[in-house]
Amino acid sequence: MHLLMLLKEFLEDINKQKTRAFLTTVAITWGTLAVILLMAFGQGLSFRMQQSLLNAGDRVIRLYEGQTTKKFQGMPIGRRIRLIEEDARILVESIPEIAAVSPQMNKGVRLRNGERSASTHMEGVYPDFEFLRRMYPAEGGRFLNAMDNLEKRRVVFLGGVVAKEVCGEEDPIGKTITIDGIPFTIVGIMPKKMQSAMNNGPDDRRAIIPFSTFQSIYGWRYLGELLIKPARIEETKYIISEIRRIMGRKYKFDPTDERAIGIWDMIEMEKVSARVFMGINIFLGVIGAMTLIIAGIGVANIMYVVAKERTHEIGIKRAIGAKKRHIIFQFVFESLLLAIIGGGVGILLAVGIVKMVWMIPAGSGAMEYLGRPILSHTVVLTSVIILTLIGLTAGVFPARKAANVDPVEALRYE
């Protein structure tokens, strides 16, 4: 019954301030919409960028050749340090914290299938390369396996773009193409994936063959790079220091010489990227919250006007024994209701907009990253908390003013 009375008084107050209440509700709706959409698009962008970084290397450490910059045991600076396949075995046996490793050789090649041809970048790798670089096959195909490498099979895994260039619209699985004039059987195709970091082009245009096959054809000794996957990302720094120590002992260079072998820590890159996008999301949230705060000022303004217009009524209530807390509760209730109505409409609009955006094809370029907002429970909960705080703040100060009115003076007010 008491709640019904509060609602009745709320509707009467709104009816007296129709235009002001409408504009304030619209402002709260717009502010809520802005907060949710800004945070949803920011969180979506952050997630897509993180995934595109991991698609280039799933929390791996990349090792490649370097050049000494410090003298060591009488040897001069400027010595070239080049890695070989044996180094992969040495590191795995010496550092238990390493979960997987894949040596890699690469070169530019020419692919041909009848009249169709394409130039691309080819890599010779171990089977673990599939997981280290997230090069998962499309349905119906597979990646390279241990037997391919053991038997030096002439099989190839292709990126989706280059596969289409050499095979057209036909199913490429099982087809034979030539790579630099040598026949290879296609065993798998990689579907399109986002990739924000790369070397020698995107994975969509890669040709991947077994490491042993690459070596047997070209007779190379030195690696292009060595991929290492830590068992736990917390041990990355330790693994890197151990790599420098072990390789320094083998190749006779100072372990503190950071340029003797190149090390690209993609795990640290992911952490930095996460911090950057967290900052962006906080910034976007603050911008949206400022819009809501401005709308909250409108709510407070309405409540001050209501308090002034109801001074006589408040005086009567105080004279017949109404407590201050009753007056305060009434005003806070009304301001919260106003904020919740506007906020509820804003949340519903935001949900609808996000769903409509997801119905649009992602496309390419910037829209591939911006076109997938994520409306998480955290985003909605944050908006609800902000709305509640605004409603409370906008109602408390007018309520205190109304509750502190002297009953005698209030009864004289016209």
**What's CA 187's distance to the chain center, in Å?**
32
Which pLDDT band holds residue 154 (cuts at 50, 70, 90)? very high
Q: What is the pLDDT of residue 277?
A: 81
pLDDT value at position 1? Answer: 39
Least confident of 30-34, 82-86, 100-104, 220-224: 30-34
Is residue 156 over pLDDT 70? yes
Instruction: Identify the pLDDT of residue 123.
Output: 93
pLDDT band at 288 (very low <50, low <70, confident <90, very high): confident
pLDDT value, residue 243? 92
Looking at residue 287, what is its pLDDT? 78
Confidence of residue 280 (pLDDT cuts 50, 70, 90): confident
**Mean pLDDT lowest for which of 29-43, 81-95, 310-324, 366-380?**
310-324
Mean of pLDDT values over 58-78: 86
Of residues 93 and 323, more confidently modeled: 93
Please count the residues of the chain.
414
Query: Mean pLDDT in the chain?
Result: 80
Question: Looking at the predicted structure, is the pLDDT value of residue 194 above 80?
Answer: no
CA–CA distance, 122 with 183 (Å, rounded to integer):
14
Nearest CA to 285 out of 35, 31, 29, 46 is that of 35
pTM of the model: 0.72
What local confidence, expressed as pLDDT, does residue 413 receive?
46
- Mean pLDDT for 342-346 is 84
Look at residue 203 in the predicted model and tell me its pLDDT. Answer: 81
Higher per-residue pLDDT: 396 or 408: 396
Percent of the chain residues topping a pLDDT of 70: 77
d(CA 215, CA 222): 10
Give residue 356's pLDDT.
Answer: 86
Helix (H) or strand (E) holding 208: strand 206-210
Rounded to an integer, what distance in angstroms lies between the CA atom of residue 52 and that of residue 192? 11
Closest-CA residue to 207 (of 104, 120, 118): 120
Tell me which DSSP letter residue 222 carries.
B
Q: Is the pLDDT of residue 252 over 80?
A: yes
- The least confident of 78-82, 210-214, 284-288 is 284-288
Tell how far CA 96 is from the center of its chain.
31
**Nearest-CA neighbor of 40 among 351, 317, 341, 411?**
351
Kindly report which listed range (5-14, 278-287, 288-297, 380-389) carries the lowest average pLDDT score: 5-14
Domain boundaries, the chain: 2-54+271-412, 61-266
| pLDDT attached to residue 369 | 62
What pLDDT sits at residue 405? 60
